[in-house]
Amino acid sequence: MYRQWILPALAIVLSIVLSACSTAITQQPPATVTEANTKPNNQQTINRVVTLSSLATDIIYQLDKTKLVGITGSSLFKNNPNFQDITRVSEGQTPPNLEKIVALKPDLVIGAEGFSNLVIQRLKELGISTLLTQVKTWQALEELTQKLAQLINANPQPLLNRYQSFLPKNPTKNTSTLVLVSNQPILAPNKNSWAGDLLAKFQLKNLAAELQGKSSIGGYITLSPEKVLEANPEAIILVNAPQANSQSDILATFKKEPFWQKLQATQNNRVYVFDYYGLVNPGSIDAIAKTCQQLKQNL
């Protein structure tokens, strides 16, 4: 079920998804800062912002919630009362509604590279200022925050300070680690991904960091069971897909693999399940904070 839901998304939004019989993962185009498609005039006052990614939504809200007039629907904000009265311009996997966006008369629309390109192009043609974003590193998160703060005339420092509070003060563990986001095929993030960069921030030894492969998903490589056994990590992180009902399903899937019980991480009970949001897709500030706390506690 998971794979049926995700495979079409891989080509469109560079998603990584596991199926019910594999550790599923969906990556909404990672929200590195790219330049604005149409740079807002330096003299233009930006008071009305529409965001087409959950991360941009949260950053703008934290910087100045009065500027946020439209957002994309996200499970991260579904039950959050802070966002209930803000117009949704899309829901789930449906494309953003161009008419809804235009009706909000935005001064700026922020999209996600690889996901919002078509609607951003149409908005450009209509003369609306736009910005495409992509976040695959911690530095990109900070740069995006600074960029958005500059555009809406807000102070980014409190938010930047908050980011720093998520990180360990003196990381020294250097635990050899593999993040496994799917089992058919077995996918793992290398250093060119948000997950890979986050592991580096915690000075965890990502055994897939320098590996390159033929995976069509940027920042992820395909591993054979033999390669996993050869790596034999001290710790393994599995990823709970957004639509997964329980963590036990993910563990059960990997326990069926012949190589699973031969790994030292399994034998030493050092297998951890993390949420998709925060580790694979930054998702939101709270999701990042939760993931960082889990890394501090377990690894």
pLDDT in tens, the chain (299 residues): 333 333 333 333 334 333 333 333 333 333 344 444 444 544 578 999 999 999 999 999 999 999 999 999 888 998 899 999 999 998 877 889 999 999 999 999 999 998 889 999 999 999 999 999 999 999 999 999 999 999 999 999 999 999 999 999 887 778 999 999 988 889 999 999 999 999 999 999 999 999 987 666 789 999 999 999 999 999 999 998 776 555 667 888 899 999 999 999 999 999 999 999 999 999 999 999 999 999 999 88
Full strand arrangement of the beta sheet holding 176-180 = 205-206, 176-180, 235-240, 271-275
Q: What angle do CA 54, 171, 291 make, to 5 degrees?
A: 25
Query: pTM for this structure?
Result: 0.85
Ramachandran region of residue 183, left (φ > 0), alpha (ψ -120 to 50) or beta? alpha
Amino acid at 130: T
Pairing status of strand 186-189 against strand 182-183: antiparallel
Give pairs for 250-255: CB < 8 Å, separation 24+: 250/18, 250/23, 253/18, 253/21, 253/22, 253/23, 253/183, 254/23, 254/180, 254/183
Name the nearest CA neighbour of 18 among 4, 35, 37, 32. Answer: 4
Name the nearest CA neighbour of 76 among 26, 120, 37. Answer: 26
Question: Which structural domains are found in the chain, ordered by start?
Answer: 49-166 (3.40.50.1980), 168-298 (3.40.50.1980)
Alpha carbon distance 275, 284 (integer Å): 12
With beta carbons less than 8 A apart as the criterion, state whether 135 and 141 touch: yes
